[in-house]
Structure 1
């Protein structure tokens, strides 16, 4: 679980490091939301765990931006913040969650509509145990990576700094196949809450003039090395390291956006062990046990730039695929941070549709 935690905290440091770059003036607000909803049955195997309506609260601390940096002006002056989430899963086998997150708030419709994207780590009180809690096939570990999205109508400073907000949210918990079982959960909820603007009597001004309007860069070549620890869905199977060697071309098409095209090689000892296991346990599969576990993929992608931090997504397809494992198409989503000139670090989740395969920790070099 150590690698998983490190990955999440690298993601947190990317967000919080961005916040530390801000200069005066600084302005903050708080918000508190109660939520009530349902677990989405994204996998029929967790049907027996959906027995009630999860509920909880989200408490957040937000730092405002005013356009002191160019990227803030291009994104309509987002907030940088931290959240604490408590959630009762409404099923004794699923336990409760308490998590910490770093987040961005993006504003639309004259700043009345708020979209929040948060990433962090959550502690589950009652994960899978072969004796005490064998029914909880959703979480194989106490510590889980968690992502949450929140879309709210927000009206601030209605009365002496207090305002109201309400809307919908989605909270995802998964350990990224670090340890089986890991069917994960997604909770969709409605929420209602209050916000409070600190120093609400003070005036502040946005710097709206953009110094960069038309922006592009030539094509650049990138080299990446990713890795981590993973296991198969077979409960009790050992954990194995994995490695991904990749190269891709990126084209910066605007100040906000880049597009990618690349290829990568996946080296997975876990898959080698799984092939051998299935050749013995399931002879009807027709496996010899010595089939190659190496996969080669090609992918295209998109990258959204938020200063030195960025959010990216890939859609990939295995062109070399000797063993059928979760399908030939794969997805990746993650965050990236420029460490110093030409070098960057990343944390991402690779999945096949709604099923996570691994959490990847990467370093890269951009020519």
Structure 2
């Protein structure tokens, strides 16, 4: 009942404010209900409640001012505030702020099917504490990264109003900067109301820039910090150097391949407690990997996905392969930065801060 009242009054406020919006916008208020996925035996005792929450968001219709607007058939760019109550004192509540892309997949009559992908920051009120909350294995820090993906069906019931039904997944994790960090995954059903500042918006195609097919070369370096476990609170420095080449597939995406070297200082400490090395010389902890990846570009911003294999790994820690998810941003055509999450077997290994140069 309280959630319904919050959404009702929020929608009234949204409607009053939206009348003055210059750019075509959509203002929404949604209610969420879901459950927690027990993706590890260490968190089965936490996946017993059903989180509920609500969301306020605003979406701006792209108009073709930038080339990538037309390449993605004029998607919407949104900003959201999401609240969850986990109905479990060990997990508490969460507040998340995200930005997202919302792309229309199908239009039919008064309805449209959209896909939404967003990234942001989440604040969790209850985290792991050895003395007071040692059963919380999903999060040990208050500040976490937030990932949201959702399919939405939006149906117009009036020129300016529509009802929304959504099926999504919310993920919060600190990227192994502090442990334990199993992360929390919440599949949700969503229901809400949208207010559209214009009944319909028609976009017109524009001339696109010439497609450049030549190979692009980059050199970059990363820095990150990771924790071995909850009992060792020290942060160990992790770094890497990469050489890569990118082959443009089309105006939106590149195929990337390259090689990189890693130096993780936490592995030297880990060796000291590794019983399989008792009485043996410690092997080299440095690693060399080769990877294949993809970049999906939205103007100067790219979504990165990579799969790599260690060609040199004398100390067998973790998996022989690794994955990487990240966001890359070009300040200039040559200089870029990125925030990447390096993963071993679907478990966060380190959050990497990258700077690089493109030739």
TM-score, normalized by the shorter chain, greater than 0.5:
yes
Work out the CA distance in 2 between the residues paired with 1:365 and 1:78.
30
> CA distance change for structure 1 residues 227 and 208 in 2, over 3 Å: closer, same or farther?
same
Work out the CA distance in 2 between the residues paired with 1:64 and 1:211.
19
TM alignment of 1:248-287, pairs within 5 A? 248-276=244-272, 278-279=273-274, 283-284=275-276, 286=278
TM alignment of 1:1-367, pairs within 5 A? 26-110=23-107, 112-156=112-156, 158-198=157-197, 200=198, 204-212=201-209, 215-276=211-272, 278-279=273-274, 283-284=275-276, 286=278, 288=280, 290-367=282-359
Check whether the contact 2:271–2:277 (CA below 8 A) recurs between aligned residues. Answer: no
Work out the CA distance in 1 between the residues paired with 2:247 and 2:290.
17
Aligned positions, number: 336
SS in 1 for 2:331: strand
Deviation at 1:268, TM superposition (A): 0.8
Tell me what 2:13 maps to: none
Work out the CA distance in 1 between the residues paired with 2:230 and 2:276.
18
Check whether the contact 1:60–1:83 (CA below 8 A) recurs between aligned residues. Answer: yes
SS in 2 for 1:218: coil
Work out the CA distance in 1 between the residues paired with 2:277 and 2:34.
41
| 31-40 or 231-240, larger mean C-alpha shift | 231-240
Unaligned runs of 5+ in 1: 1-23
More relative contact order in 1 or in 2 (CA 8 Å, sep 6+)? 1
> CA distance change for structure 1 residues 64 and 218 in 2, over 3 Å: closer, same or farther?
same
Q: Deviations over 1:123-173 (max 9, x none)?
A: 1111011111010011011111111111111124x3251111112110111
Deviation at 1:287, TM superposition (A): 6.9
Tell me what 1:13 maps to: none
> CA distance change for structure 1 residues 289 and 210 in 2, over 3 Å: closer, same or farther?
farther
Q: Deviations over 1:17-39 (max 9, x none)?
A: xxxxxxx9722111122111111
Q: Deviations over 1:215-269 (max 9, x none)?
A: 2421121101111211123532411121110010101121011001101111111
Unaligned runs of 5+ in 2: 1-20
Work out the CA distance in 2 between the residues paired with 1:246 and 1:364.
9
> CA distance change for structure 1 residues 362 and 100 in 2, over 3 Å: closer, same or farther?
same
Check whether the contact 1:216–1:253 (CA below 8 A) recurs between aligned residues. Answer: no
Deviation at 1:90, TM superposition (A): 2.8
Check whether the contact 1:42–1:354 (CA below 8 A) recurs between aligned residues. Answer: no
Check whether the contact 2:319–2:345 (CA below 8 A) recurs between aligned residues. Answer: no
Work out the CA distance in 1 between the residues paired with 2:201 and 2:93.
41
| 81-90 or 108-117, larger mean C-alpha shift | 108-117
SS in 2 for 1:319: strand
| 302-311 or 215-224, larger mean C-alpha shift | 215-224
SS in 2 for 1:271: helix
| 226-235 or 78-87, larger mean C-alpha shift | 226-235
SS in 2 for 1:97: strand
Work out the CA distance in 2 between the residues paired with 1:301 and 1:284.
34
Deviation at 1:209, TM superposition (A): 3.8
Check whether the contact 1:50–1:91 (CA below 8 A) recurs between aligned residues. Answer: no
SS in 2 for 1:340: coil
> CA distance change for structure 1 residues 287 and 62 in 2, over 3 Å: closer, same or farther?
farther
CA-atom RMSD in angstroms: 1.8
Check whether the contact 2:139–2:180 (CA below 8 A) recurs between aligned residues. Answer: yes
Q: TM-score, normalised by structure 1?
A: 0.87
